[in-house]
A and B are shown apart, each in its own frame.
Chain A
Amino acid sequence: MRTSSWIWRITACASALATIVLVIGFIYAWNDINYPQGEPLAAGSDSGSESPSAPGAVPGNGSGADQEEQAGKDEDTTTAQPLPDHLNVTAIGDSLAKGTGDNTGSGFVRRSIDQLNGDGRSAKLLANLAINGMTTEALLPKLDDKGIRYALQRANVIMLSIGGNDLFQNSGLLSEETDPDALEIDPVKLMALLPEASERLQSILQKLRAINPDARIIYVGLYHPFADLKELQIPGNIVVSTWNHSVMEIVNQDPNMTLVPTFDLFQHKLDAYLSSDHFHPNGAGYQAIADRIVQGLK
């Protein structure tokens, strides 16, 4: 009987206490949800102790080499800097960077990283920020996002693929691709799109450089996915190579930027390299791009 009364007392007290605490919590919750008090937040609350490094600092491994690299850069900006031992890759851009069309889902980003690792280099994918259907117009404001800037700052190799959607999607080619006869490419209209788009690309590359002054930026050039359609072959080739050429001119301004050409790779091998949507590369096509990227990084 004694134990019974003790059990009762303890249970009663504990549950009374618990109830009081929980009711208080309930009142707070009700208040907080119904009358949320927005407050201007001090950017960077206390948990973010290791706040993202300033754009100048190259984070991570091989810091000694990085410092030398930076020092070297200050003195001489005309030569490309040697790559550090560990490659930290961040990819950004459109479906090509994402790997759409690749059955394994790897895309050229993962394939080139795998190949680098196989060749004895140490490479790691930090983040793949590519989004299907990305255009230069959509990418530009994205570069102001803190998370994206952070991922770019942490990298020492940035892979960029952009522009394909500017050229081909705006022209309406993609939506009607099943019916090639209905396609009417207007080279004049396409050419008119080019200057704007390449201007935006220039701002993108400048922004990337401002975000990360030391990374190797690899731009993957465009190929012409409709080169096997007679009426599109010549005008399309002209547009694509004009684009690639204008990109080359921008890229040449910066010794640490590279354009990896793909135009010649795909020109006569569309059957072998394109996936079933006839726009994105398949696994073999991505592998071919990756091979080129790796050759430039070895």
Chain B
Amino acid sequence: MSNLVPLIQNECLKIMKRKRFYVVLLVLLVLVPMFTYAQMKAAERSQEKFNSDWRLELQQRITDNENSLSSDRVPDEWKRYRQIFIQQMQYYLEHDVNPNHPNGVTFTREFLNNAISLFIPLLIMAIASDIVSGERTSGTIKMLLTRPVKRWKVLLSKLVALLMFVSLIVLSTFIIAYLISGLAFGYKGFDIPVFTGFRIVGSEVDMTGVHAVPQWMYLLMQGGLVWFVGICVAMLAFMVSVLVRSTAASIVIMMAALIAGNILTNMASAWSSAKYLFMVNLNLTDYLAGNLPPIEGMSLNFSLAVLAVWAVCAVIVSFSVFTRRDILN
């Protein structure tokens, strides 16, 4: 155990020295202003139309959604989604709470909702995908393994370092999104109540469990869920990185899986066994917001279990492969 900490330290320094983490921060610093700007434009437009009266805007959205319910061209899954959306928005109206109050905190919340399934995993892959395969591409893996340390310890130190950076990436995403969007929308908004606890039963929303939490609390809970997704994606990417020799291939494999998951979720698929795939279970924050899960029968605990099983399997595979395989170049 005693020689594990220096190994972890070594791995952390390697990640820092290779500037992977800085790349992640840079990506955030470039992209978040773009999203902020887009959001600002949208806010400006709705202000023109509705004179910044959110109640009118919300009511108009409810009516528009109600109108689309009567159209035959709208698939049934979407109709269910919209019915649920309507009921939730009406709940907000009844209680006089603006669900989209424009401020930095709300932007962060919305941004994280959208980022959890693709953007954050992508950032994590920037570090995870090359953590083992990168050393094999450059040949430094041999130097590492000639030291008098057990192989599993080497791998474990890499995994621990990776998980440390997952936490850092998730936290810095929150901080950067808040700081940058705050410039445009203002930094207030931590106390605004957000409703959570919507339970979906069929196409009805069960309101008995609904309660308001202050937005900072919501962000905290969101952070926890994003973190869990991040850990699982990191472990999977870690496995791929162990199995595949080149970093590029390892990134492509993970990307393909994630994008496939996004497409599958959007199809609101009738293929119900797809719910056992990890990539359709990434939208954990949807359970917090009370959105309709992509496939019937999914719940928070189900998704957590699926993700955990995949992650644990990934770790087992990576360790058993790494400790047995010959490292030849």
Contact bitstring A1-26, B, C-beta under 8 A = 1, else 0: 00010011001101110110111111
> A37-B211, A41-B212 are known contacts. Are A15 and B164 too (CB-CB below 8 A)?
yes
> A29-B221, A33-B287 are known contacts. Are A11 and B96 too (CB-CB below 8 A)?
no
* Interface size grouping (class) on chain B: 35 or more
Residues of B within 8 A of A151 (CB): 55-56, 59-60
Q: Answer yes or no: B33 CB below 8 A from chain A CBs.
A: no
- Docked CA distance A151–B63 (Å): 12
Among B149-157, B166-174, B316-324, the stretch that binds chain A is B166-174
Residues of B within 8 A of A7 (CB): 12-13, 16
Partner among A8, A23, A145 whose Cβ is within 8 Å of the Cβ of B93: A145
Q: Answer yes or no: A71 CB below 8 A from chain B CBs.
A: no
> Are A127 and B60 within 8 A (Cβ)?
yes
Q: Answer yes or no: B97 CB below 8 A from chain A CBs.
A: yes
Q: Answer yes or no: B183 CB below 8 A from chain A CBs.
A: no
Q: Answer yes or no: B208 CB below 8 A from chain A CBs.
A: yes
Closest Cβ of chain A to B108, distance in Å, is 13
Partner among A22, A43, A133 whose Cβ is within 8 Å of the Cβ of B167: A22
- Docked CA distance A51–B192 (Å): 15
Partner among A19, A21, A39 whose Cβ is within 8 Å of the Cβ of B211: A39
> A18-B170, A130-B63 are known contacts. Are A26 and B209 too (CB-CB below 8 A)?
no
Partner among A22, A36, A98 whose Cβ is within 8 Å of the Cβ of B223: A22
> A25-B224, A34-B300 are known contacts. Are A133 and B95 too (CB-CB below 8 A)?
no
Which residues 107-131 in A have Cβ within 8 Å of B in the complex? 124, 126-131
> Are A47 and B224 within 8 A (Cβ)?
no
Q: Answer yes or no: B275 CB below 8 A from chain A CBs.
A: no
Residues of A within 8 A of B210 (CB): 36, 38, 41
* Interface size grouping (class) on chain A: 35 or more
- Docked CA distance A27–B224 (Å): 7
> Are A37 and B227 within 8 A (Cβ)?
no
Main secondary structure of the interface of B (DSSP, over half): helix
> Are B167 and A44 within 8 A (Cβ)?
no
- Docked CA distance A78–B220 (Å): 60
> Are A32 and B221 within 8 A (Cβ)?
yes
Q: Answer yes or no: A45 CB below 8 A from chain B CBs.
A: yes
> A8-B13, A23-B227, A24-B224 are known contacts. Are A43 and B56 too (CB-CB below 8 A)?
no
Q: Answer yes or no: A263 CB below 8 A from chain B CBs.
A: no
Q: Answer yes or no: B180 CB below 8 A from chain A CBs.
A: no
Which residues 218-235 in B have Cβ within 8 Å of A in the complex? 220-228
> A36-B211, A131-B63, A150-B55 are known contacts. Are A28 and B12 too (CB-CB below 8 A)?
no
Q: Answer yes or no: B213 CB below 8 A from chain A CBs.
A: yes
> Are B95 and A45 within 8 A (Cβ)?
yes
Q: Answer yes or no: A298 CB below 8 A from chain B CBs.
A: no
Closest Cβ of chain B to A8, distance in Å, is 5
Closest Cβ of chain A to B299, distance in Å, is 8
Residues of A within 8 A of B207 (CB): 38
Given A12-B164, A44-B95, A150-B93, 13 more A-B residue pairs with CB atoms under 8 Å apart are: A8-B12, A23-B224, A24-B224, A25-B227, A29-B225, A29-B284, A32-B221, A36-B197, A48-B95, A129-B63, A132-B67, A147-B90, A150-B59
A-B contact pairs, 26 of them (CB 8 A): A7-B16, A11-B164, A14-B171, A15-B164, A16-B164, A19-B163, A22-B226, A22-B227, A29-B222, A29-B288, A30-B300, A30-B304, A36-B199, A38-B197, A38-B207, A39-B211, A45-B212, A46-B191, A46-B193, A47-B193, A48-B97, A48-B98, A131-B63, A131-B67, A133-B70, A147-B58
